[in-house]
Chains A and B, each alone.
Chain A
Amino acid sequence: KAGVTQTPRYLIKTRGQQVTLSCSPISGHRSVSWYQQTPGQGLQFLFEYFSETQRNKGNFPGRFSGRQFSNSRSEMNVSTLELGDSALYLCASSSLGGAVTDTQYFGPGTRLTVL
C-alpha cells in the first residue's frame, strides 16, 4: 500500500498571501488529521476530518481551515499568512479515527516558509 502523500513538499510564500496544502491518505483510510510542527511549540493538532466532516479541531485561529473530499483526500488552507506560520505541516491518516486504539500514519510533511 502506498503511504500518506503530501504536496507540495516545500513552499515559500510572503506575508499576507494564502496557501493550500494537499494530503492523500492511505487507501481505505477515512480519517485525516493535520498537525503543525515548529521548534518552539512542538507538534500541535490542527483538525481532523472523517467522511468529509470536521470531527475535531485544535486551538488555531480561523485563518486555518480544511476540508475533505469524498475520496478522503484532504486540503488545508491558511489565509493571510504570518511569519509565525512558518512550520512543517504534517498530515496523518487512520482507518477509522474514532477509536482510542486507532493508529495514525504520517506523511513526509510540507515545509512552509513565510517571508
Chain B
Amino acid sequence: GDSVTQMEGPVTLSEEAFLTINCTYTATGYPSLFWYVQYPGEGLQLLLKATKADDKGSNKGFEATYRKETTSFHLEKGSVQVSDSAVYFCALRGSNYQLIWGAGTKLIIKP
C-alpha cells in the first residue's frame, strides 16, 4: 500500500541555518503530496502542497518539489527562525483519497 517515510528527528539547527527535511513516498498512480506543520498544543496547518510531478509548492519561505523519478518531496528553507520550531509532517493523498502520513519530524531552532 501507499506509504510515506520521513527523516527521524529531532532536527536541531541554529537560527539562519539551511533546513532540509527528507520525505520519500511509495504510491501507485499520481498522488498529491503535502507538508503540514504542527505547533505545540495545536492542530495541523497546511504548509504547502504539490499535485503533479515537477510542481513546486512554497509558503512562508518553505519549498518542496514533487520529484517523481526519486519519489521524493523534501522540505527546504533557506534561513530558519526560532518561530519555525514545530513538528513537520509529510503526507500523500492517493487513489483511495485517504491522507497517508509520515511519522513527523520535530524541528528545534536555537537562537
Contact = CB atoms under 8 A, between A and B. Distances in A.
Tell me what chain B mostly uses at the interface: helix, strand, loop, or mixed: loop
B51 A101 contact: yes
Interface in B77-111: 89, 93-99, 101, 103-104
Contact of B96 (A35, A56, A104): A56
Interface residues on A, range: 20 to 34
Contact of B101 (A33, A42, A101, A103): A42
Contacts of B101: 42-43
B30 interface: yes
Interface residues on B, range: 20 to 34
A55 B44 CA distance: 22
A108 B45 CA distance: 9
Given A42-B104, A48-B97, A56-B96, A103 B34 contact: yes
B94 A90 contact: no
B89 A100 contact: no
Interface in B22-44: 29-32, 34, 36, 42-44
**Chain A to chain B: the 4 pairs with minimum beta-carbon distance, closest first:** A106-B44, A43-B101, A108-B43, A106-B43
Interface of B: 29-32, 34, 36, 42-46, 49, 51, 89, 93-99, 101, 103-104
10 contacts: A33-B99, A43-B89, A56-B97, A58-B98, A100-B30, A100-B32, A102-B97, A103-B46, A104-B99, A106-B44
Given A48-B98, A90-B43, 20 more contacts: A4-B43, A42-B101, A43-B99, A43-B101, A43-B104, A56-B96, A58-B98, A90-B44, A92-B44, A100-B30, A100-B31, A100-B32, A100-B51, A100-B94, A101-B51, A102-B97, A103-B49, A104-B99, A105-B46, A106-B43
